[in-house]
Amino acid sequence: MAYHHLALAVKDIKATHAFYEGIMGFELVKVEVAPIQEGGWGKHFFYRMDGDDSRFIAFWELHDTPNQADHVHNLNKAANLPQGTNHYSFAVSSKEELEAWRKKWQAAGLGVFEIDHNWCHSIYTHDPDGNFVEFCLTTGQFDSADRERALSALDETEFKPSPPPALMKLWEAEPA
């Protein structure tokens, strides 16, 4: 079963639009404007990914909602979690596509963090609300030993680290 959309509240919908349509290339295709049950109202913007009319990322711009001045739009800050814990990841199908996204992000003035996790290769940046956005290429396959390790980790209470990443690199944003 695949997901239909991921919905997030944002602080600045115009900055979000510039990032997700202008840089990420997702197309704004729909908005729903509706009252919010707790009070106020919102605009729910839907961005189509890869021309697929069944996969979206969506953003809420909220108005006149209770405690609006106290809303925290960075998922990890809101949950009091370490940076990058909550994040969203989009798939790429080749190393060349991953590299193209890295270069596009850098050219857009964004820093990029790259990690080869030994079974997938990822690049990360931040959206306008400070949330981690990832592109990920699966590079390995899973076997019964991987499953056994994952199942045993369910009950572990001591630190038993995975092998270190094959690569970790910070790419600076290109100068404007």
**pLDDT band with cut points at 50, 70 and 90 for residue 12:** very high
pLDDT over 70, % of the chain: 99
Taking the model in full, what pTM does it have? Answer: 0.92
Task: State the chain's maximal CA–CA distance in angstroms.
Answer: 52
User: Checking phi first, is residue 64 left (phi over 0); if not, alpha (psi -120 to 50) or beta?
Assistant: left
Task: Output the pLDDT for position 52.
Answer: 87
Q: What is the mean pLDDT of the chain?
A: 96
Which 8-state DSSP code applies to residue 92? -
Q: What residue spans in the chain does CATH classification 3.30.720.110 cover?
A: 81-176
Are the CB atoms for 109 and 176 separated by under 8 Å?
A: yes
Q: What residue spans in the chain does CATH classification 3.10.180.10 cover?
A: 1-71
Alpha carbon 53 to chain centroid, angstroms: 19
The CATH number given to 81-176 is 3.30.720.110
Q: 92 is written with which tokens?
A: 């790429």
Give the count of beta carbons closer than 10 Å to the beta carbon of residue 57. 21
Q: 81 is written with which tokens?
A: 């979690």
Q: Which CATH superfamily is domain 1-71 in?
A: 2,3-Dihydroxybiphenyl 1,2-Dioxygenase, domain 1 (3.10.180.10)
Average pLDDT over residues 29-39: 97
Amino acid identity at 40: G
User: Checking phi first, is residue 19 left (phi over 0); if not, alpha (psi -120 to 50) or beta?
Assistant: alpha
Beta bridge pairs of residue 114: 123, 169
Average the pLDDT over each of 37-41, 47-51, 156-160 and give the range with the smallest value. Answer: 47-51
Could you give the 3-state DSSP secondary structure of residue 25? coil
Task: Please calculate the CA angle 70-76-77 and round it to the nearest 5 degrees.
Answer: 35
Entry field: residues in the chain: 176
Whole-angstrom distance, CA of residue 120 vs CA of residue 41: 40
176 pLDDT higher than 90? no
Which has the higher per-residue pLDDT, 64 or 51? 64
